[in-house]
Each structure stands twice: as structure tokens, then as C-alpha cells.
């Protein structure tokens, strides 16, 4: 696996952690604010925390590969597994959003 670019791993490590932590912080704030307003923000906040955690885990796994200098298939597969889980959750959330939004749009247009 010597053909892996370290720059790509560094980018994944840095941005995965940054986006993950930022998502967790803002989603937590969204949940706190939702207690004073509508409860709809709680669902968005929880999903933001889950996806933020998955982003962060992807960044941590990339950092582990860089620090261990072990670019074996097992370590890279673990990184890809974390990223695959992130994409799966994001895909499921997108489908749920579409299922909820499309009927709302149809109802608003028929009024």
C-alpha cells in the first residue's frame, strides 16, 4: 500500500476532526436552543451529533494510520469502514428528509 498519498490522509485527518467537532458543538447548541422553542431542532441536533461523531472518527482513523506508519490493508480498511458508515448514515438521513419534505411541498402547492 505504499502508493497511498500521505497528503490525502493528512487532509482527511485534519478536516475530519475539525468538521466532526464543529458539527457536534453546533448540533449540541441546536438541541439546547430547541428546548426553548420548537422540538423539531432536537431531531436535527441528534443527527448532527451522530454524523459529527462519524466525521471525527474518520479523522482519528486517518491520524492513526499516519502516526503508525502502517499502511497495511487492515488499517486502511478500518478508515474506509468508518467513512462507509458515515456515507450510509448520510444517505439514510437524505432519504428520510426527502420522504418528509416532498409531501410537505405537495401539500403547500395544493393550497
Highest mean pLDDT among 36-40, 44-48, 52-56, 106-110: 52-56
Average pLDDT, whole number, for the chain?
85
Task: Give the DSSP per-residue string, 10-78.
Answer: HHHHHHHHHHHHHHHHHHHHHHHHHTTS-THHHHHHHHHHHHHHHHHHHHHHHHHHHHHT---HHHHHH
Mean pLDDT along residues 80-107: 87
Residue 72 above 70 pLDDT? Answer: no
pLDDT at 69: 66
pLDDT band at 35 (very low <50, low <70, confident <90, very high): confident
Amino acid at each position: 500500500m505504499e502508493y497511498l498519498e500521505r497528503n490525502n490522509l493528512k487532509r482527511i485527518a485534519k478536516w475530519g476532526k475539525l468538521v466532526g467537532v464543529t458539527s457536534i458543538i453546533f448540533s449540541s447548541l441546536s438541541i439546547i436552543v430547541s428546548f426553548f422553542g420548537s422540538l423539531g431542532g432536537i431531531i436535527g441536533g441528534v443527527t448532527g451529533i451522530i454524523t459529527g461523531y462519524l466525521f471525527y472518527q474518520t479523522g482519528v482513523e486517518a491520524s492513526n494510520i499516519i502516526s503508525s506508519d502502517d499502511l497495511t490493508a487492515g488499517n486502511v480498511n478500518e478508515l474506509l469502514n468508518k467513512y462507509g458508515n458515515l456515507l450510509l448514515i448520510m444517505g439514510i438521513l437524505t432519504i428520510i428528509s426527502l420522504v418528509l419534505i416532498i409531501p410537505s411541498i405537495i401539500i403547500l402547492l395544493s393550497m
